[in-house]
Structure 1
Amino acid sequence: MNKKSIWAAALCAATFLSGCGNSGSGKSETDEYYLLIGSYAPASEEGIKVYSFDQNNGKSEYVSGIKGVSNPSFLTPSADGSRIYSVTEDEGETASLHALTFDREKGTLALLNEERTLGGAPCYVALSPDERYAVTANYLGGSISVFPIRQDGKLSPAHPIVFSGKGADAERQKQPHLHCILFTPDKRYLLASDLGTDRIYSFPLDSTKALLDTAARKDILLPPATGPRHLTPSPNGKHIYLMSELSGQVMVFSYDEARLDTMQTVLADTCHAQGGADIHVSPDGHFVYASCRLQNDGIAIFEVTEDGSLTKVGYQKTGSHPRNFAISPNGNYLLVACRDANAVEIYQRNPETGLLQDTGQRIEMPKPVCLKFVKRQ
């Protein structure tokens, strides 16, 4: 049996043991998750929608939605799924972060409170490892905002950290454009990608200094006009993968003791459309997927070798403007939020080859941009 076959067999065995191979009345409840979808929508509409999602067959069903959050383009759940934090990606003073409760029995959301980000167009939010803080990346504010979280889950006022500088692209890099927050797998550092200055900022975590030791910040410089966008770690924590918006490249970094060392750069966007978007690793760690927009919209597929480097193995075309995408927790499905197609597209994933097959199933809704899974209670 070759290596890929062993991986596939192991995944199938794990799926069977978890109950994911069952069907009908014998199906385990762990097969079903909630899928939360954030979108570009006015506060008068259901900008965040909740669907049930069956990992056994890829089927979904509308459960609920919530109004009152403008442009909830990115959201993140707490580890237990009881709370959701969603940005309001407004450009002006109304740019905010919202705290919501999530009833995992009923599948319903309720607003707790909101606080201003003090930086325009927040487009990403992450929770600190101890979930005592939420941090947003503010695209037009050129900043990140740190929010203490109270014991009841509500947000306290933000403390913004503002950056300066510009990049080589005179049109797209006139100022800092913070785009992603990643807490490192060892829970020691916060990484913030800045599309506007071709930098990744690294901050040590320090609970005595309101989460971040700003005096010990280090800047990781990337090649001019890279435009770093989203970051994701490997399951074993030894590598970090970056999707670049402007260069359309995936960069592979080794990670060890606060060091990010560039191992490889591989092209995902062969059309050079400057629309690189999101990046994720399959749960088994054997494949990396990256979304590309503006031309030949789709998902680039890479196989991970033993040393963490990548080999491109395929490209799956999708609907228009694929932004955020998500892989189901059992690895069977990859869902793509196609903003301009007004649909979430559902693809079945081959665990042996990493390739995708369109199921034809769609979740129709206006301008979906963010997908998050939360386990049902």
Structure 2
Amino acid sequence: MKLKSKLLSMALAFVPVFGFADSNIKMVVGTYTDAGSQGLYSFSFDQSTGTASGITSLKVDNPSYFTFSKDGRNIYAVSEKNNATAVLNSIGYDPVNGTFAFKNSQLTHGADPCYVATDGKIALTANDSGGTISVFPILKNGTLGKSLLQVGSKKGGPDRSRQNTPHAHCAIFAPDGYILTTDFSGDRILCFSYNERNKKLEDHGIAAHVKPGSGPRHLVFSPNGKYAYLMSELSGKVTVYSYNDGKLKELQSIAADYANARGGADIHVSPDGSFVYASTRLKGDGITIFRVNNNGTLTRVGAQRTGKHPRNFAITPNGKFLLVACRDDNSIQVYSRDKSTGMLKNTNQDVILSHPACIKFYPE
């Protein structure tokens, strides 16, 4: 209890920060609130030194994942709860002062929402335990309308301990506007488009099959939109795809989780598109580093051990730092990043925060 109290008091010791220099960017962190965290936290992050200064917080239940609107004026944050009270929250954000203003929330009608994405017209949540994707219209003032519909995943993967019920873990907008979702238990990536007139998702079938038992989790695109990289939780592998018109063609599958801990987590591409980073948990926790080849495939060039349970991480817009949310160590570790080699070095400038789960930088 003393440790938790100390962590919480340090996390809440915020000092207002004004007059940010050009090297400063706003950073928001979502947390699990089971150990006394407020929920969402706002920081100023110095992209030249790697230091963070706390600004304020907002009380939100389990905002384990969130996203900014394209203009940065709104945040859409899940409340990850394993019951009928799970919601998606709309929160105003002041990019000058770094302050929050709660707007509204809507039920997801799916348990454990763990991912959210938006194109400015709709917001999507992937509901892990619910095994569904929920669709919310975004109103003119940035608030959320009621969930219009849901799309279900399927069960039946070969891993009966992890794939015996439907799970959905990610829903993203492809560069050309298609919606791609990871079907964790069905070992598939599904493709949809949103019909604004009919307010429906149109099913475009399977974008890609994933090797049975993989448990596809997170999907990201290269900056040029030609390639997509999938992190699978159970196999611990990164799958490389070429992308065209809602379809993914597999080019490569390469291991990220060398401990075989079945805890593959997050994946991101460096801003210049030259490196891919993937986090793995449960054993040998850390970040695996890959160089991107000319044809989009990957070559493993190294790994960086991190604190416990690196569920999520983020790269600064200038590419100089990589920040890791070490949930079970109650800290965000700040690593400097060598842009030529991709290697990481701990700056030992940890941000102490109870159960950090999601890090996002204000969109430039």
Task: State the match for 2:174 in structure 1.
Answer: 184
Query: In the alignment, which of 135, 151, 163 is matched to residue 124 of structure 2?
Result: 135
Moved more, 288-297 or 153-162: 153-162
Task: State the match for 1:340 in structure 2.
Answer: 328
CA distance in 2, matches of 1:82, 1:54: 21
Task: Report the Cα offset of residue 219 of structure 1.
Answer: 5.3
Task: Report the Cα offset of residue 43 of structure 1.
Answer: 11
Q: Does 1:371 align with 2:362?
A: no
Question: What letter matches 1:234 in structure 2?
Answer: S
Which residues of 2 match residues 1-377 of structure 1 at below 5 A? 29-41=21-33, 45-67=37-59, 69-128=60-119, 131-158=120-147, 159-187=149-177, 189-210=178-199, 212-214=201-203, 216-218=204-206, 220-374=208-362
Moved more, 28-37 or 150-159: 28-37
Task: Report the Cα offset of residue 316 of structure 1.
Answer: 0.2
Moved more, 326-335 or 158-167: 158-167
**TM-score, structure 2 as length reference:** 0.92
CA distance in 2, matches of 1:80, 1:133: 14
Moved more, 27-36 or 352-361: 27-36
CA distance in 1, matches of 2:156, 2:88: 26
Per the alignment, in what secondary structure is the counterpart of residue 208 of structure 1? coil
Question: What letter matches 1:173 in structure 2?
Answer: Q
Structure that is richer in helix per residue: 1
CA distance change for structure 1 residues 375 and 206 in 2, over 3 Å: closer, same or farther? closer
CA distance in 2, matches of 1:211, 1:342: 41
Structure 1 contact 292–299 (Cα < 8 Å) conserved: yes
Per the alignment, in what secondary structure is the counterpart of residue 323 of structure 1? strand
Task: Report the Cα offset of residue 31 of structure 1.
Answer: 1.8
Q: Percent identity?
A: 46
CA distance in 1, matches of 2:46, 2:302: 26
1:71-110 CA-to-partner distances (Å, cap 9, x unmatched) read 1000000111110000000000111000000011211111
Moved more, 351-360 or 35-44: 35-44
Question: What letter matches 1:253 in structure 2?
Answer: Y
Question: What letter matches 1:179 in structure 2?
Answer: H
Task: Report the Cα offset of residue 209 of structure 1.
Answer: 3.2
Structure 2 contact 37–355 (Cα < 8 Å) conserved: no
Task: Report the Cα offset of residue 255 of structure 1.
Answer: 0.4
CA distance in 1, matches of 2:299, 2:20: 36
CA distance change for structure 1 residues 102 and 211 in 2, over 3 Å: closer, same or farther? farther
Question: What letter matches 1:212 in structure 2?
Answer: L
Specify every segment of 5 or more residues in structure 2 that has no aligned partner in the other structure, as ranges: 1-18
**TM-score, structure 1 as length reference:** 0.89
Structure 1 contact 30–375 (Cα < 8 Å) conserved: no
Per the alignment, in what secondary structure is the counterpart of residue 340 of structure 1? helix
1:42-85 CA-to-partner distances (Å, cap 9, x unmatched) read 59741110010010111100000001x21100000011111000
RMSD of aligned alpha carbons = 1.6
Structure 1 contact 33–375 (Cα < 8 Å) conserved: no
CA distance in 1, matches of 2:307, 2:155: 35
Question: What letter matches 1:66 in structure 2?
Answer: L
CA distance in 1, matches of 2:341, 2:207: 37
Task: Report the Cα offset of residue 211 of structure 1.
Answer: 5.3
Per the alignment, in what secondary structure is the counterpart of residue 362 of structure 2? strand
Question: What letter matches 1:280 in structure 2?
Answer: H
Structure 2 contact 334–346 (Cα < 8 Å) conserved: yes
CA distance in 2, matches of 1:196, 1:157: 27
Per the alignment, in what secondary structure is the counterpart of residue 179 of structure 1? strand
CA distance change for structure 1 residues 375 and 142 in 2, over 3 Å: closer, same or farther? closer
Question: What letter matches 1:86 in structure 2?
Answer: A
Structure 1 contact 133–211 (Cα < 8 Å) conserved: no
Task: Report the Cα offset of residue 375 of structure 1.
Answer: 5.2
CA distance in 2, matches of 1:273, 1:336: 19
CA distance change for structure 1 residues 28 and 95 in 2, over 3 Å: closer, same or farther? closer
